[in-house]
A and B are shown apart, each in its own frame.
Chain A
Amino acid sequence: EVQLVESGGGLVQPGGSMRLSCAASGFSFSSYWMSWVRQAPGKGLEWVANIKQDESEKQYVDSVKGRFTISRDNAKNSLYLQMNSLRVEDTAVYYCARDRRGSYFMFDYWGQGTLVTVSS
């Protein structure tokens, strides 16, 4: 069974940093692109970033470029999102999702999400 479990969310002050993790199991993690998708409270979904299997390609939505960094550790079946210079508007539930970039171009499995609150 495919499972994605996010962790690392919480309360952080504006300008602060936070690192999210996503533990994957039930599939060959190193064979898939992975993405982060976020959802602000009461708002819609927003694709944030993705990463290729070997980390050779990473893409970001414009609003987080230069502030967020996506990475992965295939040996640990884990995906990460380092978030720096956080803003109030980054407050959201962050989901990790298996990204079928290169084949079907969709997100077929999602974690349960972790809430990041940016507030003073």
Chain B
Amino acid sequence: QSALTQPASVSGSPGQSITISCTGTSSDVGSYNLVSWYQQHPGKAPKLIIYEGSKRPSGVSNRFSGSKSGNTASLTISGLQAEDEADYYCCSYAGSSTYVFGTGAKVTVL
């Protein structure tokens, strides 16, 4: 049950694209296409933005996209906007009804 590894911080200028990686193991990310991503603004509850690796819930901007290769999942934010400045967490199903979150990545819009 070790946390998935994410970069501590990622930054980009408005309009640019950034990618946040999420590295797990063959027991979690690598075994299931069940990675979800959450956006959290300061003092707020997390908000689901991607599930099942690449699906967006209704109402979530199509500027957010997800993918996976092997034991690493990725979240890409295209057309970066000031409102995207937040913390982002990946989460993977880890079997036996358990989950593991990533360490979190702080996105800064320059």
Q: Do A and B come from one complex?
A: yes
A interface residues (Cβ-Cβ under 8 A, vs B): 33, 35, 37, 44-47, 50, 52, 57, 59, 61-62, 95, 100-101, 104-108, 110-113
Can you spell out 20 A-B residue pairs with CB atoms less than 8 angstroms apart? Answer: A33-B97, A35-B99, A44-B89, A45-B101, A47-B91, A47-B100, A50-B98, A50-B99, A59-B96, A95-B45, A95-B46, A100-B51, A101-B97, A104-B52, A105-B32, A105-B52, A105-B99, A106-B36, A107-B48, A107-B91
Instruction: Determine which residue in A33, A47, A62, A113 has the highest number of CB atoms from chain B within 10 A of its CB, and name it.
Output: A47
CB distance from A11 to the nearest CB of B (A): 20
A105 adjacent to B102 (CB under 8 Å): no
Q: A44-B104, A107-B48, A111-B45 are in contact. Are A59 and B89 (CB under 8 A)?
A: no
B interface residues (Cβ-Cβ under 8 A, vs A): 1, 3, 32, 34, 36, 38, 40, 45-48, 51-52, 55, 57, 89, 91, 93, 96-104
Q: A59-B96, A61-B98, A105-B34 are in contact. Are A45 and B45 (CB under 8 A)?
A: no
Number of A-B pairs, beta carbon distance below 8 Å: 72
Which single member of A45, A50, A57 contacts B89 (CB below 8 Å)? A45
A107 to B57, CA, bound (A): 11
A105 to B51, CA, bound (A): 8
A107 to B49, CA, bound (A): 10
A57 adjacent to B99 (CB under 8 Å): no
